[in-house]
Structure 1
Amino acid sequence: MLLGNKIKSLRDEQGVLQRQVAAYLEIDTPMFSKIERGDRRAKRNQVPKLAEYFHVDEKELLTLWLADRILDAIKGEDELKFKAIEVAKCELSKVDL
């Protein structure tokens, strides 16, 4: 819900209605509302559009989008989630980024 919170914050700061952003994304308002509340995930291709609409850094929003996906993947894995993240971090350090 990190991305949803950020979108809501940006929308509130800029005085934009949900229906305006939904129209820009070419989705209906209820679907956008679900994205903002975290009940539904934005599609990856919608994130750059959101960054453009709100005039913010695309990488920042994509990072929040990806973090939400990671948090979804480890939800309910209380005993193993931190160990899994450490293993993933070690694996990522081996990859030539």
Structure 2
Amino acid sequence: MNTFGEYLRNRREQLGLPLRRVAAELDIDTSILSKIERSERTATKEMLPILAKALEVQEKEMEVEFIKGLIFSEIGDLKFLKSGLEETLNSIKSHE
């Protein structure tokens, strides 16, 4: 499973975008974006729409990749992850 940072780096490289250009869109230093791509730092949810636009993907795709990255980095090794996520989805559905 790729991390969110790997997803960002792969997409940026597919587009041939330099790190500095995407960092400028986010109004952050290139070293910070580099750390995000190496999973040494976490992106914020406020960055997602900017990243989606800069990396030419739908905002939904960016959010889904971000959520997957958070889940796997924080709790991806839990034995009952699937059951916990299924119950969480059921709770979300009952509150819609």
Question: TM-score under structure 2 normalisation?
Answer: 0.82
Q: Tell me the amino acid that sits aligned with residue 93 of structure 2.
A: S
Matched pairs, number: 95
CA–CA distance in structure 2, aligned partners of residues 10 and 75 of structure 1: 23
Matched, 1:63 2:64: yes
1:92 is displaced (CA, Å) by 2.3
Segments ≥4 residues shifted beyond 4 Å? none
1:64 is displaced (CA, Å) by 0.9
CA–CA distance in structure 2, aligned partners of residues 72 and 11 of structure 1: 21
CA–CA distance in structure 1, aligned partners of residues 94 and 14 of structure 2: 40
1:68 is displaced (CA, Å) by 1.6
| Contact in 2 for aligned 1:3/1:61 (Cα 8 Å) | no
Q: Secondary structure at the match of 2:45?
A: coil
- Is there any run of 5+ residues in structure 1 with no aligned partner, and where? none
Question: Residue 38 of structure 2 aligns with which residue?
Answer: 37
Deviation by residue 1:20-76 (Cα, 9 ceiling, x = unmatched): 211221111111011112221111111100111122101100111122222233144
Q: Tell me the amino acid that sits aligned with residue 32 of structure 1.
A: L
CA–CA distance in structure 1, aligned partners of residues 6 and 73 of structure 2: 15
- Is there any run of 5+ residues in structure 2 with no aligned partner, and where? none
Question: TM-score under structure 1 normalisation?
Answer: 0.81
The answer to which of 85-94 and 56-65 deviates more is 85-94
Matched, 1:90 2:81: no
CA–CA distance in structure 2, aligned partners of residues 64 and 92 of structure 1: 19
